């Protein structure tokens, strides 16, 4: 069984640019979650999608947005990039509405120059 | 509002000794509790969960956790630590409402010395 896959592995941008991160969940999983992990810190919840709908959102500005496609894959878009957006962005998936454990990808390392 | 606390940033243990990584939580309804481990440059890996039932939950790699409702704790334990257990450990909690998201603790770095 293929795990959660994220692309790209690394992404380098400059301030003010836009970044798109992609996530493919485990086959059969309908929920996708996005987290931000700044260096040496814990996970900050960004977004939760299930069956194509946004179920919950963390305390992030509107320039962080995303969507879930009919095949349950997901995109995270970050507009007007700022230096403090540099972090590891983790995607996770789970079956249903999240009472089961989440399975994580290895993340996209976003660096803002 | 739900929350989870990991009071220790770092835990140091000698190989072969028992280890405990602490976690306390707060939820408005029934708690669903999880432990994850993160190795360098990797995503989180699921270790174990408590949904309901026995208070002692057994998980991967010889880890176990004890759910204590009165103390609102869910400490991670292992009887005999291995050097390969050195990693970052996260406790997570959600309540039983359908729209509830999972909240992760700040993480505890476990270091096992040979």
- The string of DSSP codes covering B1-35 is --EEE---SEEEEETTS-EEE--EEE-SS--EEEE
**Closest chain A residue to B34, measured at CA:** A101
Chain B residues with CB under 8 Å of A106 CB are: 41-43
Q: What average pLDDT does the segment A34-47 reach?
A: 88
B39-81 pLDDT, tens per residue?
988 899 999 999 888 899 999 999 999 999 999 999 999 999 9
CA torsion A53-A56-A61-A65 (nearest 10°) is -20
Q: What average pLDDT does the segment A4-23 reach?
A: 97
**Closest chain A residue to B100, measured at CA:** A56
Burial label for B101, CB within 10 Å (0-12, 13-18, 19+), is middle
Which token pair is B10?
């770092």
The label of the residue with tokens 């994580």 reads: A104
Percent of chain A topping pLDDT 90? 84
Asked if the C-beta of A92 comes within 8 angstroms of chain B's C-beta atoms, the answer is: yes
User: Are B83 and B114 spatial neighbours (Cβ–Cβ below 8 Å)?
Assistant: yes
Chain B residues with CB under 8 Å of A107 CB are: 42-43
Asked if the C-beta of A105 comes within 8 angstroms of chain B's C-beta atoms, the answer is: yes
Please, what's the largest Cα pairwise distance for chain A? 38
Asked if the C-beta of B40 comes within 8 angstroms of chain A's C-beta atoms, the answer is: no
B80-94 pLDDT, tens per residue?
999 999 999 999 998
């Amino acid at each position: 069984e293929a795990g959660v896959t994220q692309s790209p592995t690394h992404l380098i941008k400059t301030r003010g640019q836009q970044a798109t991160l992609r996530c493919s969940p485990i086959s059969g999983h309908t929920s996708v979650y996005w987290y931000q992990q700044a260096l040496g810190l814990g996970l900050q919840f960004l977004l939760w999608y299930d069956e194509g709908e946004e179920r919950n959102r963390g305390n992030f500005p509107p320039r962080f947005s995303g969507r879930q496609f009919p095949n349950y894959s997901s995109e995270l878009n970050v507009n007007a990039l700022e230096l403090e957006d540099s972090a590891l962005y983790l995607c996770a998936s789970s079956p249903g509405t999240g009472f089961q454990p989440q399975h994580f990808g290895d993340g996209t390392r976003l660096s803002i120059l | 509002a739900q929350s989870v606390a990991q009071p220790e940033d770092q835990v140091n243990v000698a190989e072969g000794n028992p280890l405990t990584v602490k976690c306390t939580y707060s939820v408005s309804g029934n708690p669903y509790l999880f432990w994850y481990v993160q190795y360098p440059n990797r995503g989180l890996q699921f270790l174990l969960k408590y949904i309901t039932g026995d208070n002692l939950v057994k998980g991967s790699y010889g880890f176990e956790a004890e759910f204590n409702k009165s103390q609102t704790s869910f400490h991670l334990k292992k009887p005999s630590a291995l050097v390969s257990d050195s990693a970052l450990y996260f406790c997570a909690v959600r309540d039983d409402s359908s729209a509830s998201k999972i909240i992760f603790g700040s993480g505890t770095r476990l270091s096992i010395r040979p």
